[in-house]
């Protein structure tokens, strides 16, 4: 399109188009020069308002001129033209003021304002309908690409950009924040598509013919020590509970059980309240929740917590009332408590499956498994085993002999030995797969939980994993994610410097306690970090300067020494010689195998860093009525006790004209030249104040007692 053609299209002069192009930075010499599509859209956008302003007065002038001519015709020949008279009558019906602008037009400079004929004003553009659904926007998206994602014209996007002061052509890349803002302006729910997601591409399409039935994934939840691990132990006839320190499950474990020709995958989540995040991770991958409630304890805080997590994940709940073999078991009370939590049993008219079991006596376990199978059958669980494997990292840890070990649950596809894998920020090749009984596998299908060896590092528990075609692609995705996390950490200012730390430690109002955490698994690291951070209060703040899986190394101790931090190790040991280095550096190194002992002892350590607080109790008030000076003793104040009592062990405060002059201890307390332990109200006595002799008549001596309070965070 040439300049004159664009001018004709817009209904304005060619020179105005040339001027507008020059203003936009497009240098054209003549009206015959060619105009690009992008530049034409920009000119049209910038001149759209001016176009109406210029054309409207012209139309108004023509119409008012015609009206003027009709009026003249009426005056000159109304008899010869009755039809025109009728038209003139119609025109003259409105008030005279409406025609005055047309008569006075020659006296005005420039075109008449468009407001004189409001019916000719341009209609406002129709509002844009909001974009439905979620659009993905990646780094470096172009104007054209953004318009295609939003399913709208590039000119509309460019118009919005120009209103924001952004001049961009149709093929120009946009900053991510600008693109997201424009998308939200048009009503779209925009989601950032990171570079690693672009490399991985969309998930492969799955047809109905590809879907096959899969085993259910069952998560066992409940309060601490209600017998969850023992129940799973009884179901799978293993001895897991004996291996757990203190009888408390320290990691998410997964196992597969055969029942009536079908398989069920069980996930055992820890029951202690500190493992909330680990339990929540289990709920994200599960199909059914078995809520274990002890018949003698009933519904407890962690039971309610587990119920909330299961409901948030929209997962069906089957209740297993355990320990029914105990003499103090009260099943009806438990059912009543469940009803109060909207889990009314079927036997009571509700819709919650409740099975009474005894893990110790292995009672009613078949009934529980039957209920699980029926519930899974109702859900019609399916997955495709023919696509590249995808799933979730349940747990990961650093093994000294085997390296990084990740417990994965396959949710889609089939995972095979030799597959290239991306798990969170880590990548690698599957070197070996081991099931819950220690057998090595060559492949694992949907709903299978296995340990995988071969990753380059320890992934975050709860991260997704997927198989990719090439090892180079896996490494590239891993590098992009690691760099993104580094940039986000820098942007958030989470890096703790020694200057910041020392400045905080010097603060009188708040004590900071830096901590370095090492644990045997990534899930334990997360839980410890969350638990210790929750101990922070108004007076003590926990700063986690480093947290990672693995043993305590020399570099950990040196970092703790430089940061004045406490090193906390959970289920790990220091490397050879590291304990001696900790002693030499004066680093407090604490090692634990039971998490609640760690939290309790750490809380006491935090309390020890607080300044002691005291509560003052008023004992009495004495008025100084005379003073005496005794050699080798000093000044003695002759006093009258007006309130309470004065004790020899009390603290005293000398007040003069409502101003505190001195605060100290009683030096001596006498009555009739005899030392006495205390003097009651209404009696006179002699008082000396230790290390103070400037007592005057009229002074007030207040006696008080300080009681040290128990420190709180």
pLDDT tens digits, one per residue of 615-624: 888 899 999 9
- DSSP letter for 194, please: -
pLDDT tens digits, one per residue of 25-69: 777 766 566 777 777 777 777 776 454 333 334 444 444 444 444
The per-residue pLDDT for 355 is: 95
pLDDT tens digits, one per residue of 535-567: 887 767 888 888 888 889 887 888 888 778 888
pLDDT at residue 191 tops 60: yes
pLDDT at residue 212 tops 50: yes
Mean pLDDT (whole number) for 156-179? 84
Positive or negative, the CA dihedral 73, 79, 84, 90 is positive
Mean pLDDT (whole number) for 133-150? 79
- pLDDT band of 208, cuts 50, 70, 90: confident
Distance CA 608, CA 566 (A): 13
Distance CA 379, CA 489 (A): 42
pLDDT at residue 669 tops 60: yes
Q: Is 587 helix (H, G, I), strand (E, B) or coil?
A: coil
Q: Is 310 helix (H, G, I), strand (E, B) or coil?
A: helix
Q: What is the signed CA dihedral for 526, 532, 536, 542, rounded to 10 degrees? A: -80
The CA angle 226-230-231, to the nearest 5 degrees, is: 85
Mean pLDDT (whole number) for 441-452? 93
The per-residue pLDDT for 249 is: 47
pLDDT tens digits, one per residue of 461-515: 778 899 999 999 999 998 888 887 777 655 544 333 333 434 444 444 566 788 9
Measured CA to CA in angstroms, residue 568 lies from 525, 542, 602 at distances of 10, 13, 9
What does the block give as tokens for 336?
Answer: 């009543």
Strands (E), 110-199: 134-138, 189-193
pLDDT tens digits, one per residue of 306-358: 887 788 777 899 999 999 999 999 999 999 999 998 999 988 888 899 999 99
The per-residue pLDDT for 137 is: 79
Note whether 426 and 478 are within 8 A (CB): yes
The per-residue pLDDT for 29 is: 62
Q: Is 327 helix (H, G, I), strand (E, B) or coil?
A: coil
Query: What is the distance, to the nearest Å, from the Cα of residue 448 to the centroid of all Cα atoms in its chain?
Result: 30
| pLDDT cut 90: percent of the chain above it | 27
pLDDT tens digits, one per residue of 249-275: 445 468 888 888 889 999 876 544 444
Q: Which residue has the higher pLDDT, 62 or 165?
A: 165
pLDDT at residue 295 tops 50: yes
pLDDT tens digits, one per residue of 591-610: 888 888 888 877 776 666 54
Question: Which helix (DSSP H) or strand (DSSP E) does residue 574 occupy?
Answer: none
Q: Which residue has the higher pLDDT, 686 or 78?
A: 686
Residue 669's contacts (CB-CB under 8 Å, 6 or more residues apart) are 646, 647, 648, 675, 676, 677, 678, 679, 685, 686, 687
Note whether 380 and 367 are within 8 A (CB): no
Q: What is the signed CA dihedral for 482, 483, 484, 489, rounded to 10 degrees? A: 90
The residue among 28, 161, 5, 160 whose CA lies nearest residue 20 is 28
Mean pLDDT (whole number) for 196-204? 69
Q: Phi and psi for 342 in degrees, rounded to 5?
A: 60, 35
The per-residue pLDDT for 238 is: 47
The per-residue pLDDT for 281 is: 52
The per-residue pLDDT for 505 is: 40
Q: Which residue has the higher pLDDT, 503 or 290?
A: 290
Q: Which residue has the higher pLDDT, 660 or 709?
A: 660
Domains of the chain, first to last: 3-49 (no CATH), 134-193 (1.10.1660), 215-380 (3.40.50.300), 390-487 (2.40.30.10), 509-608 (3.40.50.10050), 613-709 (2.40.30.10)
Distance CA 155, CA 153 (A): 5
The per-residue pLDDT for 555 is: 79
Lookup result for tokens 């089939």: 414
pLDDT at residue 575 tops 60: yes
Q: How many CB atoms lie within 10 A of CB 255?
A: 19
Note whether 465 and 459 are within 8 A (CB): yes
The per-residue pLDDT for 607 is: 62
The per-residue pLDDT for 51 is: 42
- pLDDT band of 222, cuts 50, 70, 90: confident
> Which three-class secondary structure string do you get for 512-545?
EEEEEEEECEHHHHHHHHHHHHHCCCCCEEEEEE
Note whether 180 and 137 are within 8 A (CB): yes
Distance CA 200, CA 212 (A): 25
| pLDDT cut 70: percent of the chain above it | 75
| 636 dihedral zone (left: phi>0; alpha: psi -120 to 50; beta) | beta
The pTM for the full model equals 0.52
The per-residue pLDDT for 493 is: 43
Strands (E), 146-305: 189-193, 212-213, 217-222, 253-259, 262-268, 288-294
Distance CA 183, CA 189 (A): 7
Q: Give DSSP secondary structure letters for 235-272.
A: HHT--HHHHSGGG---S-EEEEEEETTEEEEEEE---S
Distance CA 458, CA 549 (A): 8
Query: What is the distance, to the nearest Å, from the Cα of residue 661 to the centroid of all Cα atoms in its chain?
Result: 54
- pLDDT band of 633, cuts 50, 70, 90: confident
């Amino acid at each position: 399109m040439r300049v004159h053609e664009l001018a004709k299209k817009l209904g304005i002069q060619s020179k105005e188009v040339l001027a507008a192009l020059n203003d936009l930075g497009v240098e054209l010499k003549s009206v015959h020069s060619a105009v690009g599509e992008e530049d034409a859209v920009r000119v049209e956008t910038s001149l759209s308002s001016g176009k109406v302003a210029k054309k409207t007065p012209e139309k108004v002038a023509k119409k008012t001129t015609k009206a003027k001519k009709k009026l003249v015709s009426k005056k000159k020949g109304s008899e010869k033209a009755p039809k025109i008279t009728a038209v003139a009558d119609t025109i003259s019906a409105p008030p005279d003021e409406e025609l005055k602008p047309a008569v006075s037009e020659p006296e005005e400079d420039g075109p008449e304002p468009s407001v004189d004929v409001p019916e000719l004003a341009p209609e406002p553009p129709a509002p844009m309908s909001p974009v439905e659904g979620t659009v993905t926007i990646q780094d470096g998206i172009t104007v054209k690409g953004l318009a295609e994602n939003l399913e709208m014209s590039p000119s509309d996007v460019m118009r919005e950009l120009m209103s924001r002061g952004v001049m961009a052509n149709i093929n120009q890349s946009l900053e991510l924040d600008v693109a997201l803002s424009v998308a939200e302006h048009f009503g779209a729910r925009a989601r950032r598509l990171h570079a690693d997601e672009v490399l991985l591409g969309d998930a492969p399409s799955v047809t109905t013919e590809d879907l096959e039935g899969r085993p259910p994934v069952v998560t066992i939840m409940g309060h601490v020590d209600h017998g969850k691990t023992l129940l799973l132990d009884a179901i799978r006839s293993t001895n897991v509970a004996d291996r757990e320190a203190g009888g408390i499950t320290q990691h998410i474990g997964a196992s597969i059980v055969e029942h009536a020709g079908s398989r069920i995958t069980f996930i055992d989540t820890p029951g202690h309240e500190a493992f909330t995040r680990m339990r929540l991770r289990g709920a994200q991958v599960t199909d059914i929740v078995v809520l274990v409630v002890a018949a003698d304890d009933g519904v407890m805080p962690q039971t309610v917590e587990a119920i909330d997590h299961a409901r948030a994940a929209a997962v069906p709940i089957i209740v297993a009332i355990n320990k029914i073999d105990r003499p103090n078991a009260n099943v009806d009370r438990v059912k009543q408590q469940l009803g109060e939590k909207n889990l009314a049993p079927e036997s009571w008219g509700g819709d919650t499956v409740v099975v009474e079991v005894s893990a110790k006596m292995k009672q009613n376990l078949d009934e529980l498994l039957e209920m699980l199978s029926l519930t899974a059958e109702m859900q019609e669980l399916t997955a495709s085993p023919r696509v590249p494997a995808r799933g979730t990292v349940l747990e990961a840890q650093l093994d000294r002999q085997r390296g990084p070990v990740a417990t994965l649950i396959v949710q889609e596809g089939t995972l095979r030995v030799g597959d290239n894998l991306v798990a969170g920020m880590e990548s690698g090749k599957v070197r070996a797969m081991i099931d819950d009984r220690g057998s090595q596998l060559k492949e694992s299908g949907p709903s299978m939980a296995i340990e995988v060896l071969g990753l380059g590092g320890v992934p975050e528990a709860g991260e997704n994993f997927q198989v990719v075609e090439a090892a180079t692609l896996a490494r590239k995705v891993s590098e992009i994610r690691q760099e993104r996390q580094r940039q986000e950490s820098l942007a958030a200012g989470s890096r703790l410097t020694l200057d910041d730390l020392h400045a905080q430690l010097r603060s009188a109002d708040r004590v900071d306690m830096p901590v370095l955490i090492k644990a045997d698994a990534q899930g334990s690291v997360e839980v410890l970090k969350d638990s210790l951070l929750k101990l922070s209060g108004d007076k003590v703040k926990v700063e986690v300067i480093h947290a990672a899986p693995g043993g305590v190394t020399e570099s950990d101790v040196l970092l703790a020494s430089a940061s004045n931090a406490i090193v906390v190790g959970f289920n790990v040991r220091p490397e050879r010689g590291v304990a001696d280095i900790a002693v030499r550096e004066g680093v407090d190194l604490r090692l634990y195998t039971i998490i609640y002992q760690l939290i309790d002892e750490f809380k006491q350590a935090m309390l020890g860093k607080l300044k002691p607080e005291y509560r003052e109790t008023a004992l009495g008030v004495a008025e100084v009525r005379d003073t005496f000076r005794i050699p080798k003793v000093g000044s003695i104040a002759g006093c009258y006790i007006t309130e309470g009592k004065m004790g020899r062990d009390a603290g005293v405060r000398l007040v003069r004209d409502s101003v505190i002059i001195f605060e100290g201890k009683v030096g001596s307390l006498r009555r009739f030249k005899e030392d006495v332990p205390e003097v009651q109200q209404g009696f006179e006595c002699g008082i000396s104040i230790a290390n103070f002799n400037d007592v005057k008549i009229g002074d007030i001596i207040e006696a008080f007692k300080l009681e040290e309070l128990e420190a709180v965070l």
